[in-house]
A = this chain, B = another copy of it.
Amino acid sequence: MTATTCFTLKYKDKASSARQGEVATPHGTFQTPAFMPVGTQATVKALTPEELQSIGSEIVLANTYHLYLRPGHETIEKLGGLHKFMNWEGPILTDSGGFQIYSLSKLCKTSEEGVNFRSHLSGSPIFLSPEEAISIQRALGTDIIMCLDTCIPYPCPYQETREATRLTSRWAGRCKEAKETNHQLLFGIIQGGMYSDLRMMSAEEILEIGFDGYALGGLSVGEPKDLMLQMAEKTIPLIPENYPRYIMGVGTPEDIIECVWRGVDMFDCVLPTRNARNGMLFTSSGPVVIKNSRYKDDAAPLDENCGCYTCRHYSRAYLRHLYVSRELLSYRLNTIHNLHYFLKLMTEIREAIRKGAFAEYRRKFYKQKEENE
């Protein structure tokens, strides 16, 4: 008999490790496999919560690092927590800030105790411990909170990776200790760089501590796709099936399908939203670079097969005009479309798993992709 967890497994694919389930959080449940739009600064750029909901988003991600620097977790706590602050009533996951400290801040220095860095906004020195990362996320009041992990460059020598991975485990233990008895779900992060044995060692250590869910960190950092999938393959099976599995910062539609195939439940990535703002749009007939002059007089919708607000009301010509004119509406319409594309993909994946047709869905996906090329 397996313990009761936040995760309910509903369907298991026969041909693969894919599964369909749901995660229960203090602000409601969400269906998995799930894609979490990124709302870095307490807003998914350009969209309202109502829009996010209407395009099928059940959970959003926010960045602890950004909110800690501005407006400050104490401010958000005083105002009733992040849900109220940003007017989003559904589940929110916050990362711990580990990756942002590593990628955005200056003079980042990791010690046993925690990490010293300088704010990318003010330049002022800041010290963050695993305990503090938990305390900040408690103040934010989000539903799923993450352990503080250490980040390493890619590529990274074996010994250095091993040390960082072990430190991540020690910090994970401190995070669990620090967490108050409340309804927040705390996820552990499995590291180990690009070394299978370190990934497995990390999984063992993190599982030993015991969390509400498990994430794979330190992937999609520039390594070849095969290597990323290999790391996932080695690690995912070690996580008991009654826990949600989250792969951080992944990825493209293909990455998502391949990780779902391997048993991953949760994803987040800036790709749909960032690409939208750069005029790079996902469509059923392949990528569209909307500023391309070929769309100047194009009366067709961005994607004939898409039912999103943007495709129902606007032509490629208008989207191109807004983009080249740097109009604010451009970012918004593009973001609606790209997020709708990702969230529809997740809906289709879930349906396929429920129908026992995920292998077929995956095959068709690649066939379509080939035809588009």
Question: Which residues from chain A sit less than 8 Å from chain B, CB to CB?
Answer: 41-43, 45-48, 70-71, 75, 78-80, 85-87, 296-297, 299, 309, 313-315, 317-318, 320-322, 324-325, 327-329, 331-332
Q: In the complex, which of the residues B70, B299, B315, B329 contacts A46, with contact meaning CB atoms closer than 8 Å?
A: B329
* Cβ-closest chain B residue relative to A80: B299
* Cβ-closest chain B residue relative to A325: B41
Judging by beta carbons under 8 Å apart, are B297 and A79 in contact? yes
* Cβ-closest chain B residue relative to A71: B321
Q: How far, in Å, is A52 (CB) from chain B's closest CB? A: 11
Judging by beta carbons under 8 Å apart, are A43 and B324 in contact? no
Judging by beta carbons under 8 Å apart, are B75 and A329 in contact? no
Q: How far, in Å, is A322 (CB) from chain B's closest CB? A: 6
Q: What residues on B are CB-neighbors of A332 within 8 Å?
A: 46, 48, 328, 332
- List the 10 shortest-distance A-B pairs measured between CB atoms, nearest first: A46-B328, A71-B321, A43-B329, A87-B313, A41-B325, A43-B327, A45-B328, A79-B299, A328-B331, A79-B317
Q: How far, in Å, is A57 (CB) from chain B's closest CB? A: 15
* Cβ-closest chain B residue relative to A42: B321
Where chain A touches its partner, the secondary structure class is loop
Q: What residues on B are CB-neighbors of A318 within 8 Å?
A: 42, 79, 85-87
Judging by beta carbons under 8 Å apart, are A71 and B331 in contact? no
Q: How far, in Å, is A210 (CB) from chain B's closest CB? A: 36
Given contacts A46-B332, A87-B314, A329-B47, A321 and B78 within 8 Å (CB-CB)? no
Complexed CA–CA distance, A85 and B70 (Å): 39
Q: How far, in Å, is A140 (CB) from chain B's closest CB? A: 13
User: Oligomeric state, in number of copies?
Assistant: 2
Complexed CA–CA distance, A260 and B42 (Å): 42
Q: What residues on B are CB-neighbors of A299 within 8 Å?
A: 78-80
Complexed CA–CA distance, A322 and B43 (Å): 8
* Cβ-closest chain B residue relative to A84: B315
Complexed CA–CA distance, A283 and B331 (Å): 28
Q: What residues on B are CB-neighbors of A46 within 8 Å?
A: 328-329, 332
Q: How far, in Å, is A2 (CB) from chain B's closest CB? A: 41
Q: What residues on B are CB-neighbors of A42 within 8 Å?
A: 318, 321
Judging by beta carbons under 8 Å apart, are B327 and A41 in contact? yes
Q: How far, in Å, is A209 (CB) from chain B's closest CB? A: 35
* Cβ-closest chain B residue relative to A318: B85
Judging by beta carbons under 8 Å apart, are B48 and A329 in contact? yes
Judging by beta carbons under 8 Å apart, are B70 and A321 in contact? yes
Judging by beta carbons under 8 Å apart, are A296 and B71 in contact? yes
30 pairs, CB–CB < 8 Å, chain A vs chain B: A41-B321, A41-B322, A41-B325, A42-B318, A43-B327, A43-B328, A43-B329, A45-B327, A46-B329, A46-B332, A47-B329, A48-B329, A48-B332, A71-B317, A75-B297, A75-B317, A78-B297, A78-B299, A79-B297, A79-B315, A79-B317, A79-B318, A85-B315, A85-B321, A87-B313, A87-B318, A328-B328, A328-B331, A328-B332, A332-B332
Complexed CA–CA distance, A332 and B335 (Å): 14
Q: What residues on B are CB-neighbors of A315 within 8 Å?
A: 79, 85
Q: What residues on B are CB-neighbors of A317 within 8 Å?
A: 71, 75, 79, 85
Q: Which of A46, A87, A317, A328 has the most CB of B within 10 A?
A: A328
Complexed CA–CA distance, A48 and B330 (Å): 10
